[in-house]
Amino acid sequence: MEKRPTAYVLLTRLFLRQFLENDLLSPEGDRSQMLAVVGASVVSLTLFISMFMSAQYAMNMLVPAHAAVQTLNDKFFYISLAMLVTAITAAAQWDALAIDQRDAAILQPLPVRPRTLRLAKLTAVAMLCGAVAIAVNVFPTWIFPWMVAFSVPQMTAQQLFSFMAVHAAITIPAAVFGFLVIIAVREGASAMLGPRWFARVSPTLQTITLIGLGIALLLLPMQTTRVGQRGLSGWRMALPPTAFVGAYEVASGGFLADLPRRHMTQIEAKRDRAFAAIYEERQPLFPPLAQRAQLLFLAVAGIVALATLINAHRSPAAAVVAPGRRRRSRVTDLANRFQRSAAGRAGFAFAAATIWRNKTHRLTLAAGGAVGVAAVVVALSRIDLEQGGVSIRLLMIQPLLYGSLLVAFRHLLRVPAELRANWAIEMAWQGQVRAFSSGAQTAALLTLAAPAILLLMPVVGVAGGMPLAVAHALLGLLGAAIMLEALMLTYDGVPFACSYMPGDNMRAMGPIYAAMFLIGAVMFARLQLAILSGTFTIPGIAALLVLLVSLRVASSRRRRIAQVDFDEAPVTIRQLGLHS
């Protein structure tokens, strides 16, 4: 008799498919193509990183103590990378991590026990977590120990395989830990807030989480340099990867430092003694760190279990209940205040809604924000705020942050909010491209640049006092308006209502644009310093205003022939593939 899959198996398959058909990663995407792209990205990224990071071992012979200290950096890096990649995967799959409103609406009327539903979701999430944890660690587990063995030939085959086993045994749980942290954040917030409130804050929480993880990933290379040499004290000590490094060293028994010494030159012997002293200094920290890693893992797993149990007793459908009273939209208020024409208000409200609520748009903005914040952190890491005083480096952080966000916004203009829904804009469109774009532009200025500028005001305030910070913020708003005008000057489409057209020759032009952006930020910071210090105040402000007005005039004189794009053929024709 033919064996039929059970409801549990069918639902697990369905939930696994949901991960690939995620709106954030693959809106309208092809499943197999998506699987191939994600798989290839993770594998090639980790292969490339492993080869790149391990090249130093292949090219140098190290004394054992040096190898022991040097590998601490790489262990910290691989553990952090594993945690971050799985955490980003989990954050990208945010809504699919639990039974959401859509699942509830579709599956609850079916004759499936809620327990089976939850078990299937749990299995699918566990399978995703396991697959990503293994995929991200498979190449480092093979390549890193092999390459270390090249630089320390005393290592025996048994020690090499034991090294590999320990690497996998630590980095895979570290990756699972990263995944669990995101589930703990999501489920914890859901348990505390309840379905209705969680439904409201969930998109913001997801965005903040993605931005935070993106920043951490960008800063990872800088922060893992010379960890072993600098020591595991201070803020680094509090990081979860440090605890897992301790577990790594305890599990491996610190065998690299104890490898038999070959014949060494005087310099090598001196180096060996110096690194041995460093390693011995770190060694007592490892057992308590290992213990902390265990506790952290258990604590996060405990939070996940508790929050999941609490949420299991609530129906996700509860979040769909109407709020009951009309909420006056703040976006509508802002649109009415800042835009005089009806089309301008439409552009403002539509842009403000789509950039924050559309998942693809949100992801792009999160990436832009992550780049900006990373640049700010790098710039700030070399400034001693306690010394006081305003420098170009300090003033530069503002254009770097809002500039990254505005560049992301400029890219988003070409990404349709929902191609199939654009017929409505086509029907209502009266050719008001200038007013509609101006509304979208104002929305970017008020909802992206202004908050970024306000966010950095206290930092400048600490260094130069609040009056200067306020003046700096106002100059920043002027700078953001100029940048937006410049970015929009060559844009001829209807914002968010055109088919996506990739930019030409971005591989060649990308670095040039990036360099121009950095040079522009430095120049603007110099001008700001001159204005704020009083040496060039009136001419400086006048120059900025003239530039803004000139750009606006140039933009209004530009002849725009905008077209709204949508799927114009009837659905049946598209489904049959007849529409060429």
Partner 1 sequence: MAELRAHRLSKHFAGIRVVNDVSLTLRPGEIVGYLGPNGSGKTTTARMLAGLLEQSGGMVEYDGADVRNDVLAFHRHLGYVPEEPFLYPFLSGREYLELVGRLREVPERLLAAKIDGFLELFGLTNAADQSIASYSKGMRQKIVISAALVHDPAIVIFDEPETGLDVATTMMLRHLVRTLAVRGKAIMYSSHILEVVERVCDRVIVLHKGTVVADDSIDRLRVLSANRSLEGAFSRLVIREDPESLARNLADVSAMSA
Length of the chain: 580
Stretch touching partner 1 by CB under 8 A, among 165-173, 294-302, 459-467, 566-574:
566-574
CA diameter of the chain: 90
Cα(421)–Cα(428) distance, rounded to whole angstroms? Answer: 12
Q: What is the DSSP letter of 472?
A: H
How far apart (Å, rounded) are the C-alpha atoms in residues 396 and 403? 10
Please tell me the distance from the alpha carbon of residue 169 to that of residue 162, in angstroms, as a whole number. 10
Q: How far is the CB of 352 from partner 1 (least distance, A)?
A: 10
Let me know: does 84 contact 127? Beta carbons within 8 Å: no
The residue among 22 and 116 lying less far from partner 1, judged by its C-beta, is: 22
Residue type at 64 in one-letter notation? P
- For residue 553, state whether it binds partner 1 (rule: CB under 8 A): no
Q: Is 353 in the site for partner 1 (CB under 8 A)?
A: yes
Tell me the window of 85-93, 151-159, 239-247, 563-571 that interacts with partner 1 (CB under 8 A): 563-571
CA angle 96, 100, 105 (to 5 degrees): 130
Alpha-helix residue ranges (DSSP H) falling in 382-431: 392-412, 423-428
Q: Does 580 bind partner 1 (CB under 8 A)?
A: yes
**436 exposed, middle or buried (CB, 10 Å; 0-12, 13-18, 19+)?**
buried
Backbone angles phi, psi at 7, to 5 degrees: -60, -40
329 near partner 1, judged by CB under 8 A? yes
CA angle 570, 571, 575 (to 5 degrees): 125
Determine the interface stretch with partner 1 among 264-272, 363-371, 431-439, 524-532 (rule: CB under 8 A).
431-439
- Among the listed residues 349, 406, 527, 531, the single contact to partner 1 using CB under 8 A: 349
CB of 446 to partner 1, least distance (A): 17
How many residues sit close enough to partner 1 to count as binding (CB under 8 A)? 46
Quote the tokens at residue 61. Answer: 């012979």
CB-nearer residue toward partner 1: 157 or 561: 561
535 sits near partner 1 (criterion: CB under 8 A): no
Among 157, 238, 267, 427, binds partner 1 (CB under 8 A): 427
Q: What is the rounded distance in angstroms from the CA atom of residue 89 to the CA atom of residue 562?
A: 37
Judged by CB under 8 A, does residue 432 bind partner 1?
yes
Convert residues 93-122 into a mask of x (bound to partner 1 by CB under 8 A) and - (unbound). Answer: --------x---------------------
CB of 369 to partner 1, least distance (A): 19
157 binds partner 1 (CB under 8 A): no
Q: Which of 59, 295, 424, 514 binds partner 1 (CB under 8 A)?
A: 424
**Interactions with partner 1, residue window 400-419 (CB under 8 A):** 417-418
| By the rule CB under 8 A, 343 interacts with partner 1 | yes
Residue entry with tokens 């379905």 = 195
Amino acid identity at 425 = I
Closest approach of Cβ 579 to partner 1, in Å? 6
CB of 325 to partner 1, least distance (A): 9
Instruction: List the alpha helices (DSSP H) in 448-489.
Output: 450-464, 466-488
Q: What are the DSSP E strand ranges found in 74-230?
A: none
Does residue 169 sit in helix, strand or coil? helix
Kindly tell me which residue out of 3, 4, 326, 330 binds partner 1, with binding defined by CB under 8 A: 326
In the chain, DSSP finds a helix count (H) and a strand count (E) of 21, 0
Phi, psi of 569 (to 5 degrees): -80, 150
Q: Which of 24, 259, 346, 365 binds partner 1 (CB under 8 A)?
A: 346
Binding mask 265-304 for partner 1 (x = CB under 8 A): ----------------------------------------
Name the residues that contact partner 1, by CB under 8 A. 101, 320, 322-324, 326-327, 329, 332, 336, 342-343, 345-346, 349-350, 353-354, 357-358, 417-418, 420-421, 423-432, 436, 566, 568-573, 577-580
